């Protein structure tokens, strides 16, 4: 094991002095509502981040790509997303890293969780504290510390902070893909578990909408003329539910039905939304094939039309040898800093999936330690701000000096 060098010590000690600054950042950032749909809040947040990250270079705010969604009437309509922050530093350096995070949260303006209860012992309860405004703060300060190292010129990086991660990153997927094509490895600042456990393998996810078009009719006078879209979508959901477990780790969650109307009319339209999660790449093709077949079968059975929308927008991230190499490198840095590093497979997905699908080795839970994310009980463990920034800073310094080497990328 490599002990910590004097140059590393200088940068790490600087970080230890940043505790108050970091904590103030997180308190300020979590006081701004930046739900994925709150474009005003996202704009405010993006400008604050732009100022904060200008300490490292010249961050730009890039417009999202166009995103469509199926509405409750079964029509494909454009949805607006926020801008994404992008920063590139030393693109010619021999080692290239992507650091990614998101500024959006799952808590919109209509959610009751707006300010949180604040400090509670060693924790902060605030919306997005762990997921992931704390993580953004870890990323920023790890980079600031890294820049103090004399070998910093050996490593260049791109920072992407998107505004739609919590709604599948459709407006930023192209940007993530593009930055990944120019890098060797990816670091994402999603929260680790409260005890520090990182997410290892991740499942892939697809979000789908079935638009079922039947035929309206008077429910009393001539129901036989109608084709009930609600009955058909219910049947489809029951059939889809049976697919769960057809492959190891394959789950289908029929989640929402919209449509129908007065009880005296046979409903002619139903919109059914569901998600599918898989462990292996091949399982997404398998699931896709099964879903199409079931939709055809149900359409015939009920004499309705079923149009499927959606796709696997995040592919699985299995822990292959190259991924494990990077996890081992993080672990070695942890050992040098007395930070235990372990990992566990997760059913959840994040932008780490996108970066891995583009061919990068990725560790995607380098943010703060915390828990209960996506609920009003979300918390960040305050002392983990410095701790996790030290971990990433040391990793970056060792990548720059070559103590940790990067394997060539797999073709994407």
Q: Where does this chain bind Zn ion (CB under 5 A)? A: 131-132, 190
Beta carbon of residue 165, minimum distance to Zn ion (angstroms, whole number): 6
Q: In whole angstroms, how far apart are CA 199 and each of 163, 232, 257, 396?
A: 22, 38, 32, 20
| Pick 169 or 401: Cβ nearer Zn ion | 169
Q: Are 52 and 21 in contact (CB under 8 A)?
A: no
Tell whether the torsion through CA atoms of 345, 350, 351 and 355 is positive or negative: positive
95-102 β-sheet, strand order: 60-62, 84-89, 155-162, 95-102, 185-188, 361-363
Rounded to a whole number of angstroms, the minimum distance from the CB of residue 131 to Zn ion is: 4
Nearer to Zn ion, 15 or 132 (CB): 132
Kindly tell me which of 190 and 268 has the beta carbon lying closer to Zn ion.
190
* Cα–Cα distance, 401 to 258 (Å, whole number): 56
**Residue 222 CB, nearest approach to Zn ion (Å):** 52
Nearer to Zn ion (CB atom), residue 102 or residue 398: 102
Report yes or no: 215 and 364 within 8 Å, Cβ to Cβ.
no
Q: How far is the CB of 166 from Zn ion (least distance, A)?
A: 7
Report how far residue 119's alpha carbon sits from residue 227's, in angstroms, rounded to the nearest whole number. Answer: 56
Angstrom distance (rounded) from CA 362 to CA 329: 11
**112 secondary structure, DSSP code:** S
185 in Cβ contact with 361 (< 8 Å)? yes
| CB 5 to Zn ion: min, Å | 33
d(CA 46, CA 36): 12
Based on CB atoms, which residue is closest to Zn ion, 82 or 259?
A: 82
Between 131 and 258, CB nearer to Zn ion: 131
CB count within 10 Å of CB 242 equals 11
Nearer to Zn ion by Cβ, of 260 and 348: the residue is 348
| DSSP assignments along 9-27, one per residue | HHHHHHHHTTHHHHHHHHH
- Measured at CB, which residue is nearest to Zn ion? 131
**CB atoms inside a 10 Å sphere around CB 146:** 26
Nearer to Zn ion, 164 or 190 (CB): 190
């Amino acid at each position: 094991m490599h002990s910590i060098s004097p140059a590393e010590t200088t940068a790490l000690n600087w970080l230890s002095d940043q505790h108050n600054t970091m904590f103030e950042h997180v308190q300020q950032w979590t006081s701004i509502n930046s739900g994925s749909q709150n474009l005003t809040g996202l704009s405010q947040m993006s400008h604050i981040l732009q100022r904060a990250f200008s300490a490292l270079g010249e961050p730009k705010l890039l417009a999202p790509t166009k995103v469509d969604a199926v509405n409750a009437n079964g029509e494909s309509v454009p949805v607006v997303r926020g801008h994404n922050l992008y920063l590139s530093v030393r693109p010619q350096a021999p080692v290239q890293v992507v650091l990614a995070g998101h500024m959006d949260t799952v808590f919109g303006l209509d959610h009751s969780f707006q300010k949180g209860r604040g400090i509670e012992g060693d924790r902060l309860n605030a919306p997005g504290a762990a997921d992931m405004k704390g993580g953004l703060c870890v990323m920023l300060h790890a980079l600031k510390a890294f820049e103090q190292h004399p070998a910093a010129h050996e490593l260049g990086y791109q920072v992407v902070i998107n505004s739609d991660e919590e709604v599948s990153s459709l407006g930023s997927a192209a940007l993530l893909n593009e930055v990944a094509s120019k890098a060797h490895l990816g670091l994402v600042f999603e929260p680790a578990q409260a005890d520090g456990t990182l997410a290892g393998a991740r499942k892939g996810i697809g979000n789908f909408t079935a638009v079922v078009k039947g035929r309206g009719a008077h429910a009393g006078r001539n129901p036989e003329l109608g084709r009930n879209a609600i009955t058909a979508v219910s049947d489809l959901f029951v059939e889809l539910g049976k697919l769960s477990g057809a492959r190891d780790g394959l789950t289908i969650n029929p989640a929402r039905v919209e449509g129908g109307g007065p009880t005296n009319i046979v409903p002619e339209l139903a919109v059914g939304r569901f998600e599918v999660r898989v462990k292996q790449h091949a399982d997404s093709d398998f699931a896709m094939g099964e879903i199409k077949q079931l939709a055809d079968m149900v359409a015939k059975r009920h004499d309705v039309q079923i149009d499927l929308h959606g796709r696997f927008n995040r592919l699985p991230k299995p822990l292959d040898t190259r991924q494990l190499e990077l996890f081992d490198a993080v672990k070695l840095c942890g050992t040098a800093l007395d930070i235990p590093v372990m990992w566990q497979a997760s059913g959840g997905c994040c932008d780490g999936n996108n970066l891995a699908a583009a061919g990068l080795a990725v560790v995607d839970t380098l943010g703060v330690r915390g828990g209960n994310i996506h609920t009003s009980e979300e918390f960040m463990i305050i002392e983990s701000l410095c701790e996790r920034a030290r971990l990433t800073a040391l990793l970056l310094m060792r990548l720059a000096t070559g103590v940790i080497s990067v394997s060539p990328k797999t073709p994407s």
